[in-house]
């Protein structure tokens, strides 16, 4: 294994060759390839590799440093865990798509220039869409097409920004970009689309719940965290990101509370957690960037665990609507336990992974005296416990006995959930293990008395609020309904407006056409009346009349001449 071997290529090329292998080799290959790629990553010392020149520009296809290592490492772990979770799946399309998708995300994280980043950026979009299409429903197909358009559009903006930047600076290096550099704004928007910024976020809630049982878990791990990495690399310390991130943490809470589809609830919750990372990037200090990297690492694990548990419920119960579930703890006790671990982690309970990563960001925000943003993040922390920490396990497993009796999840799913749950707890109990690989040296102790008590108070009051709302009947009931989000404006409102505008335009065109036609017809009738066969100016005159008129004119001319 050479030092310059890109781990991403192991997954991409290995995944592309899987269909040629027998079924048994193909299944075991989905587990072996992430392990081999991880070994390749761990064997690489920090540095730049795979440097080539294209049209006179230097490309760095493999760059490993303290920031890219954290994301590459968790992407490899996620690729293995999701492959184990989907080990029972016999669909070659999903197997290949998952490996190529994971490899493309790793390749993008390890890219040292914007062109290499663009290639892998677009490959993530093209490969991941098959995980949605594999669901095989009309809804999934439509969601997949919308997802593909948006993701490819993000890549087009990235390429346009890279072209403008290289023309102005002569460099394609993927380092700090900033909003004041040529092309920086286009690249920023490209990253923002993939990171699900407010008003650019609906592709996430639209597409993820429509993917296959295993595909949603894979999707939750890579795309948005790749965007977080890209923002951390290109835009650290950008003040605008503090505001954007704060909004991202707050607004999904309200949608998640009223949403019935529990996988869609988790999609909104994913958006909420991304906001913490974006705020950390905006603050831009070493502590904040460490918090962003740590939270991305933790988030991939606990969010995957929650999606795994809901995927198992969907597989066995046939639905993930909160209104149709309840009492599943009797049939799926292990899945219930793993879901609770994921819920505790995302809620930042002490001794779970979310606690030791989210606290870095909150402390960094407070250290820079962004007190209003800090309060928003506290509100968001309480909210995420409300809708993901309590609502997900409560309505899926406990709310009432739905009468559904089913088998426990397949063993490979349970094993994948068990390993993920173990990592969530291990990171929470031994935070220094994660802190040791963060981009900057960490001098921080999460388990102080003040922090632990403050967090427990926040969680207990949130739990009390949930209990009171449920007991008094004020909590929004779980109903089969459609909740309108910002995408309604371009999926429904704009098409409806264009249809009405088209109808009005057609009526106006018809009226103008009729008026013009009538006017032209009147002109032609008038011309025909005077110049037609019977018109005064076109009819024949008798010869005798013409002789008389000639004589009259001649006499008149002679008269004028002699006078």
pTM of the model: 0.88
d(CA 508, CA 249): 47
> What is the structure's pLDDT at 310?
96
* Mean pLDDT along residues 161-168: 93
* Among the listed residues 414, 207, 392, the one whose alpha carbon sits nearest the alpha carbon of residue 310: 392
Residue 332 backbone phi and psi in degrees, to 5? -130, 65
The pLDDT tens digits of the residues spanning 496-525 come to 888 888 888 888 888 898 888 888 888 877
Higher pLDDT, 339 or 486: 339
161's CB contacts (< 8 A; 6+ apart) are: 114, 183, 184, 185, 186, 187, 188, 190
d(CA 255, CA 267): 10
Contact 456, 384 (CB under 8 A): no
H or E element, residue 50:
strand 47-54
- Specify the range with the lowest mean pLDDT, choosing from 200-214, 407-421, 461-475: 461-475
H or E element, residue 47:
strand 47-54
Percent of the chain with pLDDT over 70: 96
d(CA 291, CA 348): 13
Supply the mean pLDDT for the chain.
Answer: 91
* Mean pLDDT along residues 207-218: 96
* Mean pLDDT along residues 391-411: 90
Residue 49 backbone phi and psi in degrees, to 5? -135, 170
pLDDT at residue 535 above 70?
Answer: no
* Among the listed residues 108, 89, 85, 87, the one whose alpha carbon sits nearest the alpha carbon of residue 11: 108
pLDDT at residue 402 above 90?
Answer: no
* Mean pLDDT along residues 307-329: 93
* Mean pLDDT along residues 29-55: 93
The terminus-to-terminus CA distance of the chain in angstroms comes to 123
Which of 390-394, 496-500, 550-554 ranks highest by mean pLDDT? 390-394
Beta-strand relationship, 57-64 and 47-54: antiparallel
The pLDDT tens digits of the residues spanning 106-150 come to 999 999 999 999 999 999 999 999 999 999 999 999 999 999 999
pLDDT band of residue 433 (cuts 50, 70, 90) is very high
pLDDT at residue 530 above 70?
Answer: no
The pLDDT tens digits of the residues spanning 261-284 come to 999 999 999 999 999 999 999 999
> What is the structure's pLDDT at 539?
60
Contact 93, 134 (CB under 8 A): yes
């Amino acid at each position: 294994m050479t030092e310059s071997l890109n781990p991403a290529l192991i997954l991409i090329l290995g995944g592309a060759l899987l269909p040629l292998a027998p079924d048994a080799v193909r299944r075991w290959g989905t587990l072996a390839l992430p392990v081999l790629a991880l070994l390749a990553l761990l064997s690489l010392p920090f540095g730049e590799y795979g440097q080539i020149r294209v049209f006179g520009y230097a490309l760095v296809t493999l760059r490993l440093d303290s920031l890219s290592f954290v994301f590459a490492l968790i992407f490899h772990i996620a690729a293995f865990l999701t492959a184990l979770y989907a080990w029972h799946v016999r669909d070659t399309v999903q197997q290949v798509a998952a490996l190529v998708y994971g490899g493309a995300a790793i390749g993008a994280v390890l890219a040292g220039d914007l062109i290499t980043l663009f290639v892998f950026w677009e490959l993530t979009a093209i490969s991941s869409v098959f995980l949605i299409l594999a669901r095989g429903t009309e809804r999934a197909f439509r969601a997949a097409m919308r997802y593909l358009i948006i993701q490819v559009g993000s890549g087009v903006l990235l390429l346009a920004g890279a072209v403008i930047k290289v023309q102005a600076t002569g460099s394609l290096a993927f380092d700090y970009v900033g909003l004041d550099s040529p092309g920086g704004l286009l690249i920023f928007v490209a990253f923002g689309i993939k990171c699900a910024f407010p008003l650019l976020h609906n592709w996430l809630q639209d597409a993820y719940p429509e993917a296959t049982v295993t595909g949603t878990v894979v999707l939750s791990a890579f795309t948005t965290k790749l965007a977080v990495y890209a923002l951390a690399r290109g835009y650290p310390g950008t003040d605008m990101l503090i505001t954007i991130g704060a909004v991202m943490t707050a607004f999904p809470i309200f949608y998640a509370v009223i949403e019935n589809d529990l996988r869609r609830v988790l999609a909104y919750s994913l958006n909420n957690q991304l906001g913490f990372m974006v705020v950390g990037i905006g603050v831009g200090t070493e502590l904040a960037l460490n918090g962003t990297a740590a939270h991305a690492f933790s988030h991939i694990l606990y969010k995957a665990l929650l999606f795994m548990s809901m995927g198992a419920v969907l597989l066995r119960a046939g639905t993930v609507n909160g209104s149709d579930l309840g009492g599943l703890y009797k049939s799926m006790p292990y899945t219930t336990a793993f879901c609770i671990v994921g819920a505790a982690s995302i809620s930042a309970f002490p001794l779970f992974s979310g606690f030791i990563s989210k606290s870095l960001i909150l402390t960094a925000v407070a250290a820079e005296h962004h007190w209003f943003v800090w309060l928003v993040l506290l509100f968001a922390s309480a909210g995420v416990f409300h809708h993901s920490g309590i609502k997900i396990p409560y309505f899926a497993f406990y709310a009432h006995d739905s009468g559904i009796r089913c088998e426990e999840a397949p063993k490979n799913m349970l094993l994948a959930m068990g390993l993920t749950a173990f990592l969530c707890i291990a990171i929470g109990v031994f935070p220094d293990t994660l802190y040791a690989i963060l981009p900057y040296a960490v001098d921080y102790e999460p388990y102080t008395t003040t922090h632990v008590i403050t967090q427990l108070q926040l969680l207990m009051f949130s739990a009390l609020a949930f209990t009171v709302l449920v007991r008094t009947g004020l909590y929004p009931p779980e109903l089969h309904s459609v909740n309108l989000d910002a995408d309604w404006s371009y999926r429904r409102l704009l098409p409806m407006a264009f249809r009405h505008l088209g109808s009005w335009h057609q009526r106006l065109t018809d009226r103008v056409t009729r008026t013009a036609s009538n006017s032209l017809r009147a002109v032609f009738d008038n011309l025909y009346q005077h110049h037609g066969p019977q018109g005064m100016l076109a009819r024949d005159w008798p010869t005798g009349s013409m002789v008389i008129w000639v004589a009259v004119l001649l006499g008149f001319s002679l008269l004028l001449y002699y006078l």
